[in-house]
């Protein structure tokens, strides 16, 4: 027994190996969101990954999706300007 129970009416879990696979899946889910996106992240540096998340989340918000992002104080302090400009 693995401790993970799979219910027949739910999609089977998928193992995502590496950041590229995980990020691509998260970005796709943000694009598919219709009502709410809630993200907790520790991406704290400017760069391609953070910029892509910001673009995907901004796009969702513009479609009327409620977007909430939980970041720690360090991320908020370092990235506040970039985020507020979007």
The reported pLDDT for the residue numbered 1 is 42
The reported pLDDT for the residue numbered 69 is 87
Which stretch of DSSP H or E encloses residue 38? strand 36-40
- List, for residues 20-56, the tens digit of each pLDDT value: 898 999 999 999 999 999 998 776 666 888 889 889 9
Q: Mean pLDDT over residues 7-22, rounded?
A: 79
Which stretch of DSSP H or E encloses residue 70? strand 66-70
Instruction: Give the CA distances from residue 65 to residues 16, 33, 49, in Å, rounded to whole numbers and listed in that order.
Output: 25, 7, 21
Q: Where exactly are the structural domains of the chain?
A: 35-85
- Residues 64 and 51: their CA atoms lie apart, in Å, by 20
Residue 17 has pLDDT above 90, yes or no: no
Residue 6 has pLDDT above 90, yes or no: no
- List, for residues 55-86, the tens digit of each pLDDT value: 999 999 999 999 998 877 766 666 656 555 55
The reported pLDDT for the residue numbered 19 is 83
Residue 57 in contact with residue 69, Cβ under 8 Å?
A: yes
């Amino acid at each position: 027994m693995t401790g993970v129970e799979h219910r027949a009416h739910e999609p089977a879990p998928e193992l995502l190996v590496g950041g590229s696979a995980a990020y691509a899946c998260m970005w796709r889910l943000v694009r598919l969101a219709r009502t709410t996106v809630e993200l907790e992240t520790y991406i704290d540096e400017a760069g391609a990954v953070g910029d892509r998340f910001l673009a995907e989340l901004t796009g969702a918000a513009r479609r009327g999706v409620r977007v909430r992002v939980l970041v720690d104080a360090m991320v908020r302090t370092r990235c506040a300007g970039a985020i507020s400009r979007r």
